[in-house]
């Protein structure tokens, strides 16, 4: 294992310290190290809180700031944050309008965010994201996994919260956006968790894991490498089939890197995916390409399609200023 680290025991705390220092104009790391919060809170706005295991950066801490999250709770690498983290984050950023937890559908995350919501003093509702259509049940999940579509939920809800939507309306909007999101990922290599010191799974030079999860969970099958167009064709066709009639709406196309794939290859996959979707009648109204929901050093990518209407398009376009995502200001 070759990684920049001093000790596997301190990699997260040192990384969080560097992140908070580099972006001190936007975020603050709580002295406990349990959560990152935005510097400037808006009184009367619903607080948006997310989190999960580390190793997916910039998700979630990189999306704390104006127009997205108010706080993010990082667990150890690929390990859910503990309930007290969410409770304390809610206490720090709830300005009186309640808190909305945005939770990826992994059993540990769901359980601990549930407990954190019960322990919190203010009103708390939750949105559970489950956009991964590759598999129904996986290593850490009952039902579909929450993956890159979570970023879209956080962006749309962040804008809506800034514009004054109340807690119940935000919960309904989050469920709507999640319901319109479909994702599918492919890994070309494994990732290496620092504490393990070796790849999570073995994969041959000419193999790919089709439908992989963002923690290296098994996908639909192990397959031989194929040209990018063929990989994109199967992913996009699977997404269109799962979306059904909704695939005819204007949509956001999000090609997400897993951490070890160059931008050159991500844009090549975007080019293939856009062409295929448009051939199927999908109107690509917005696009995002980059490594935003990663799996440490895994080579691979996911393709996410999210159906949008005029309302959600306007929220996507609204100004955002976070360490990991910024436009309009």
Cβ atoms < 10 Å from Cβ of 11: 19
Q: Return the pLDDT at 245.
A: 66
Task: Give, for all 329 residues of the chain, the pLDDT tens digit.
Answer: 999 999 999 999 999 999 999 999 999 999 999 999 999 999 999 999 999 999 999 999 999 999 999 999 999 999 999 999 999 999 999 999 999 999 999 999 999 999 999 999 999 999 999 999 998 876 777 889 999 999 999 999 999 999 999 999 999 999 999 999 999 999 999 999 999 999 999 999 999 999 999 999 888 899 999 999 999 999 999 999 999 866 667 999 999 999 999 999 999 999 999 999 999 999 999 999 999 999 999 999 999 999 999 999 999 999 999 999 999 99
Q: Are residues 198 and 168 in the same domain?
A: no
Structural domain contains residue 45: yes
**234-240 contacts: CB < 8 A, separation 24 or more?**
234/210, 235/184, 235/186, 235/273, 235/303, 236/273, 236/276, 236/277, 236/280, 236/303, 236/305, 237/276, 237/280, 238/133, 238/184, 239/133, 239/182, 239/183, 239/184, 239/303, 239/305, 240/277, 240/280, 240/282
Pairing of the two strands 283-290 and 250-257: parallel
Q: Are residues 163 and 186 in the same domain?
A: no
Structural domain contains residue 294: yes
Q: Are residues 187 and 171 in the same domain?
A: no
Structural domain contains residue 3: no
Q: Are residues 303 and 199 in the same domain?
A: yes
Q: Are residues 242 and 272 in the same domain?
A: yes
Q: Return the pLDDT at 136.
A: 81
For the question of whether the overall pTM of this predicted structure is more than 0.75, the answer is yes
Q: Return the pLDDT at 229.
A: 98
Structural domain contains residue 311: yes
Structural domain contains residue 79: yes
* Residues of the domain holding 303: 181-319
Residues catalogued as catalytic: 56, 215
Structural domain contains residue 325: no
Q: Are residues 263 and 303 in the same domain?
A: yes
Q: Are residues 84 and 141 in the same domain?
A: yes
Structural domain contains residue 300: yes
Q: Return the pLDDT at 219.
A: 86
Question: Which of these three, 148, 179, 210, is where a domain ends?
Answer: 179
**CATH number, position 108:** 3.40.50.10440
Count structural domains, the chain. 2
Q: Are residues 61 and 173 in the same domain?
A: yes
Q: Return the pLDDT at 285.
A: 97
Question: Which of these three, 153, 179, 205, is where a domain ends?
Answer: 179
Question: Which of these three, 179, 198, 225, is where a domain ends?
Answer: 179
Q: Are residues 266 and 129 in the same domain?
A: no
Q: Are residues 169 and 259 in the same domain?
A: no
């Amino acid at each position: 294992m070759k990684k920049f680290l001093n000790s596997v025991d301190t990699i997260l705390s040192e990384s969080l310290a560097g992140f908070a220092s580099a972006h001190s104009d936007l975020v603050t790391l709580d002295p406990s190290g349990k959560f990152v919060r935005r510097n400037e809170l808006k009184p009367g706005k619903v607080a948006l809180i997310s989190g999960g295991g580390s190793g997916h950066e910039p998700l979630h801490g990189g999306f704390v700031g104006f127009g997205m999250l108010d706080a993010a709770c990082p667990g150890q690498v690929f390990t859910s944050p503990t309930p007290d983290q969410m409770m304390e984050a809610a206490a720090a950023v709830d300005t009186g309008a309640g808190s909305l937890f945005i939770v990826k559908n992994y059993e540990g995350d769901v359980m601990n965010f549930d407990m954190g919501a019960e322990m919190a003093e203010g009103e708390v509702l939750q949105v559970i994201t489950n956009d991964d259509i590759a598999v129904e049940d996986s290593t850490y999940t009952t039902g579909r996994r929450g993956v890159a579509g979570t970023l879209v939920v956080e962006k749309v809800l962040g804008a809506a919260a800034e514009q004054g939507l109340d807690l119940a309306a935000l919960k309904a909007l989050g469920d709507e956006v999640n319901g319109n999101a479909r994702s599918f990922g492919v890994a070309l290599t494994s990732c290496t968790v620092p504490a393990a010191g070796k790849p999570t799974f073995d994969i041959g030079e000419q193999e790919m894991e089709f439908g992989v999860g963002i923690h290296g969970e098994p996908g639909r099958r192990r397959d031989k490498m194929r040209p990018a167009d063929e990989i994109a064709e199967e992913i996009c066709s699977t997404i269109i089939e799962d979306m059904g009639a909704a695939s005819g709406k204007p949509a956001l196309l999000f090609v997400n890197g897993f951490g070890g794939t160059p931008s050159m290859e991500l844009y090549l996959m975007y080019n293939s995916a856009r062409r295929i979707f448009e051939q199927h009648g999908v109107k690509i109204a917005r696009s995002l390409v980059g490594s935003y929901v990663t799996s440490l050093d895994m080579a691979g990518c996911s393709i996410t399609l999210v159906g949008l209407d005029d309302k959600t398009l306007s929220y996507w376009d609204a100004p955002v200023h976070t360490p990991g995502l910024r436009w309009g200001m």
